[in-house]
């Protein structure tokens, strides 16, 4: 049975986790990541990993579960940022040749 604190924890974790879904869906649909900061998502990933570690220490299922979901979403966005950077860098010489 869930305690009141667990209900609040799952609610907060669910909201912050699903707050990233619109961004991930937009990246998936448009493949556009130029407006996203890679450094921001790296710091966010580190912070989420620390929340998971903290959740493990205090044995909080809601902290662990919701933050593991967030890690997946943030890693997906980071992968797309990196891939798009590489493809942009490869296309610059081709664009310069056409000038």
Q: What is the pLDDT of residues 8-48, one digit of tens each?
A: 888 888 898 888 899 999 999 999 999 999 999 999 999 99
Alpha helices in 19-60 (DSSP H): 21-30, 38-58
Rounded distance between C-alpha atoms, residue 66 and residue 69, angstroms: 5
Distances (CA, A) of 40 to 9, 30, 58, 77, 78: 24, 20, 27, 11, 10
pLDDT of residue 78: 96
> Mean pLDDT over all residues of the chain?
86
pTM of the model: 0.78
Q: Which CATH architecture has domain 4-97?
A: Up-down Bundle (1.20)
pLDDT score for 96? 52
Can you give the residue ranges of every domain in the chain? 4-97
């Amino acid at each position: 049975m869930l305690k009141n604190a667990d209900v609040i924890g799952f609610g907060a974790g669910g909201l912050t986790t699903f707050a990233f879904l619109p961004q991930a869906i937009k990246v998936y649909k448009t493949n556009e990541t130029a407006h996203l900061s890679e450094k921001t998502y790296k710091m966010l990933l580190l912070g989420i990993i620390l929340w998971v570690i903290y959740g493990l220490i205090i044995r909080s299922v809601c902290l662990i579960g919701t933050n593991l979901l967030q890690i997946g979403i943030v890693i997906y966005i980071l992968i797309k940022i990196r891939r798009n950077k590489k493809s942009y860098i490869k296309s610059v010489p081709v664009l310069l040749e056409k000038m």
